[in-house]
């Protein structure tokens, strides 16, 4: 194995802001937001399982409460300007054809991945694990692509290494005195949550061990939430529409037997929507329990398939298509029930705008508008609707998928949040490159649809430029990023932020290609370089580029030339390459370890990395900008610069549909 040496040659990295620049950048960002009316929510969507893990902590699955996640969120916050982090559903997921889909997990209980085993080595958790035991989980993650793809098996599965090590922690926990603070908190937790904790579970038959893990998962999620709150950031949870089979079996009277919610291919058991408007029904009680668990765990809630609380489609198991007779219209009765349930937990002063509903759907499923009218249905008025720009067009007087289109329809800026895309649709980079969606139908047919040209026409009208300008993929992507910045509330998905072209969710089409990659694209532990590369390529989110476009559009480049010049300055700084010459105090690896391809003792490598880290820390007093730039790989992998992997998968979802696991 060859170890690459660090010499005094310059190494090219993307340009990060220096400390004094960063402070000025943040002040400029806030002033620009106030001038462009982008003053509401700015939501950064991540799948917490995909959060970055440094080599020494790479268990296979990210965690919201880890030190790596904290450092990641701190680094990205000024560059993206977010004030809310949204995570995908947090439940336990069992694989179907090697695919772990967050939207097919448990809705009451938390998944094993919400547990951060490293925290169990600390005083706070009575040293339930040793550092060596935690390291065993890391060492068990031997996947060849562990830097790029989540290894769910190592953490989620009952026969995974994390579960095995947690059984050791559980044994020690049982030996703790009953009057120990950890035991007292545990007893209180079990008492308050026994109604859902104690239901029989096929995937975890050991009830005592399950209770222990749920307690840890909730405690660690609480720690992750506090870390974000301390940064001035809210944590939003994604409340999935479905329930697991164990939950259906435990609360049978809450469900309509042999019926499914939404598209029949989702195979998601439907609550009894015939009785759900009665608050005393089993269906209403179970829905309330789920919603209130999310209210306790998170600051805000996104409601998956939110339109199903207004007009659910309940389909018998033998029906393979949506029929009009399967639709019900509940008006806002269930929505109000949800809002009141949240207020019981959060208090009467809770801002209901922190409840956001997925409202985009295919016309066959749901429409936001009254029949033969462009007027919004009453149940959706005033509620925050999640809207994307994937299907942007301006073929009529009002258009679709833009801030102006919704404002012209009479919507309040407070009642929608706009973004270029989330986990469901085709990624921005694919659309920018005019890659068509390829829909794999059950009958074997492939239907193609493309979304770029309709968006090009809309962008040309918005920015008053020729359509030819936006045929350029980079110009298209940059303009698409600027569009949601015109809205008061904006969201951004991490795959688009990092300029990725892989489809995050390819379910229901051709999952035989690489099912293990669905819902599994990790943020590289060298996320600084990954983000800077995305900016330089032109597909990542450069907030100053967006402000520059908005200032020109609004004439602020003429009236606020002082700010405009600074916007251009920082936009261009983020595009600069940065040449770094490592200080002489950093000992070259080649002087410590021979670089010939031979068997190398891992202890020497670890010692090398440790010494280099000490030297970097020492050097940072003289060169503060170098801290965090050099990346030392784990044992046996040497010092390297990662190259971004590009997967040009072109499998995609149908237009305006929400995919769930079949």
Alpha carbon distance 509, 277 (integer Å) = 35
Residue 593 structure tokens: 């370890």
- pLDDT at position 6: 32
Structural domain of 276: 241-381
Same domain, residue pair 103 and 192: yes
- pLDDT at position 509: 52
Same domain, residue pair 206 and 154: yes
Same domain, residue pair 205 and 232: yes
- pLDDT at position 513: 63
Q: Measured on CA atoms in the order 156, 144, 58, 101, is the torsion positive or negative? A: negative
Asked whether residue 132 is domain-assigned, the answer is yes
Residue 74 structure tokens: 């701190």
Same domain, residue pair 179 and 292: no
Closest CA to 531 of 210, 63, 80: 80
Q: H helices then E strands: how many in the chain?
A: 21, 15
Q: Can you point out the beta strands (E) in 427-475?
A: 437-440, 446-449
Same domain, residue pair 323 and 336: yes
Asked whether residue 481 is domain-assigned, the answer is no
Mean pLDDT, the chain cut into blocks of 10 residues (662 residues total): 34 71 97 97 98 98 98 98 98 89 95 98 98 98 96 96 98 97 98 96 92 98 98 98 96 96 87 96 98 98 97 87 81 97 98 96 88 90 96 83 92 97 94 87 75 95 96 98 97 98 76 78 96 95 98 97 97 80 41 32 34 40 34 30 29 31 28
- pLDDT at position 441: 65
Asked whether residue 552 is domain-assigned, the answer is no
Asked whether residue 509 is domain-assigned, the answer is no
- Domain count across the chain: 2
Last residue of a domain, one of 239, 260, 281: 239
- pLDDT at position 120: 98
Alpha carbon distance 418, 357 (integer Å) = 12
Same domain, residue pair 74 and 184: yes
Asked whether residue 279 is domain-assigned, the answer is yes
Transcribe 127-184 into DSSP letters.
T-S-HHHHHHHHHH---TTTTTB--HHHHTSTTSHHHHHHHHHHHHHHTS-TTSHHHH
What is the helix (H) or strand (E) element at residue 312, kind and residue range? none
Q: What are phi and psi of 235, to 5 degrees?
A: -110, 125
Closest CA to 91 of 218, 250, 251, 181: 218
Same domain, residue pair 281 and 218: no
Asked whether residue 282 is domain-assigned, the answer is yes
Asked whether residue 107 is domain-assigned, the answer is yes
| Contacts of 33 by beta carbon, 8 Å cutoff, 6+ apart | 39, 81
129-143 pLDDT, tens digit each: 999 999 999 999 999
Same domain, residue pair 74 and 200: yes
Asked whether residue 498 is domain-assigned, the answer is no
484-537 pLDDT, tens digit each: 999 999 999 999 999 999 999 976 555 456 788 999 999 999 999 999 999 999
Q: What are phi and psi of 448, to 5 degrees?
A: -105, 140
Same domain, residue pair 95 and 227: yes
Same domain, residue pair 333 and 224: no
Same domain, residue pair 251 and 225: no
Last residue of a domain, one of 239, 269, 286: 239
Last residue of a domain, one of 365, 381, 397: 381
Judge contact between 629 and 586, C-beta under 8 A: no
Same domain, residue pair 89 and 235: yes
């Amino acid at each position: 194995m060859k170890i690459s040496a660090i010499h005094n040659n310059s190494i090219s990295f993307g340009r990060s802001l220096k400390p004094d620049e960063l402070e000025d950048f943040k002040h400029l960002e806030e002033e620009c937001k106030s001038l462009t009316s982008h003053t509401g929510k700015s939501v950064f969507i991540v799948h917490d399982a995909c959060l970055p893990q440094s080599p020494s902590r790479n268990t296979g699955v990210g965690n919201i409460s880890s030190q790596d996640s904290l450092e990641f969120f701190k680094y990205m916050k000024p560059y993206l300007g977010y004030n809310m982090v949204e995570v995908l559903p947090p439940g336990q997921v069992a694989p179907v054809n090697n695919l772990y889909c967050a939207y097919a997990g448990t809705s009451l209980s938390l998944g094993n991945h919400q547990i951060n085993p490293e925290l169990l080595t600390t005083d706070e958790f009575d040293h339930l694990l040793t550092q060596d035991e935690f390291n065993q989980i890391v060492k068990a993650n031997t996947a060849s692509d562990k830097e790029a793809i989540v290894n769910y098996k190592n953490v989620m599965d009952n026969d995974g290494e994390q579960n095995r090590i947690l059984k050791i922690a559980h044994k020690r926990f049982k030996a703790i005195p009953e009057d120990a603070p950890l035991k007292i908190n545990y007893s209180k937790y079990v008492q308050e949550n026994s109604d859902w904790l104690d239901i029989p579970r096929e995937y975890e038959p050991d009830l005592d061990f399950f209770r222990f893990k749920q307690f840890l998962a909730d405690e660690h999620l609480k720690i992750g939430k506090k870390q974000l709150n301390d940064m001035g950031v809210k944590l939003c949870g994604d409340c999935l529409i479905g329930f697991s089979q164990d939950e259906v079996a435990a609360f049978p009277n809450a469900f309509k037997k042999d019926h499914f919610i939404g598209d029949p291919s989702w195979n998601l058991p439907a609550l009894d929507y015939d009785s759900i408007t009665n608050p005393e029904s089993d269906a209403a009680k179970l829905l309330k329990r789920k919603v209130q668990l999310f209210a306790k765990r998170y600051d805000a809630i996104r409601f998956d398939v939110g339109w199903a609380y207004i007009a659910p489609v309940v389909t018998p198991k033998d029906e393979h298509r949506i029929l009009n007779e399967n639709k019900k219209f509940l008006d806002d009765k269930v929505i109000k029930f949800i809002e009141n349930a949240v207020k019981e937990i959060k208090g009467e002063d809770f801002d209901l705008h922190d409840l956001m509903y997925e409202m985009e759907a295919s016309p066959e499923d749901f429409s936001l508008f009254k029949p033969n009218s462009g007027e919004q249905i009453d149940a959706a008025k005033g509620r925050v609707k999640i809207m994307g720009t994937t299907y942007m067009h301006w073929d009529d007087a009002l258009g679709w998928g833009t801030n102006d289109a919704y404002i012209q329809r009479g919507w309040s800026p407070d009642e929608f949040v706009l973004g270029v895309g989330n986990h469901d649709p085709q990624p921005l980079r694919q659309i920018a490159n005019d890659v068509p969606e390829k829909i794999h139908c059950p009958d074997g047919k492939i239907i193609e649809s493309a979304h770029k040209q309709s968006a090009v026409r809309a962008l040309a009208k918005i920015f008053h430029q020729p359509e030819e300008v936006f045929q350029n993929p980079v110009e298209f992507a940059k303009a698409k990023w600027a569009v949601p910045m015109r809205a008061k509330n904006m969201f951004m998905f991490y795959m688009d932020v990092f300029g990725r072209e892989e489809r995050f969710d390819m379910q229901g089409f051709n999952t035989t290609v690489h099912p293990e990659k669905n819902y599994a694209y990790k943020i590289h532990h060298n996320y600084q370089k990954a983000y800077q590369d995305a900016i330089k390529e032109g597909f990542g989110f450069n907030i100053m580029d967006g402000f520059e476009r908005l200032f020109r559009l609004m004439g602020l480049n003429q009236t606020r030339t002082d700010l405009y010049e600074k916007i251009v300055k920082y936009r261009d700084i983020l595009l600069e390459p940065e040449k770094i010459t490592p200080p002489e105090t950093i000992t070259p690896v080649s002087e410590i370890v021979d670089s010939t391809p031979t068997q190398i003792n891992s202890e020497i490598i670890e010692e090398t990395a440790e010494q280099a880290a000490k030297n970097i820390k020492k050097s940072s007093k003289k060169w503060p900008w170098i801290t965090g730039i050099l990346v030392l790989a784990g044992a046996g992998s040497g010092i390297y610069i990662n190259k971004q992997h590009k997967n040009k998968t072109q499998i995609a979802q149908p237009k305006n549909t929400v995919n769930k696991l079949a």
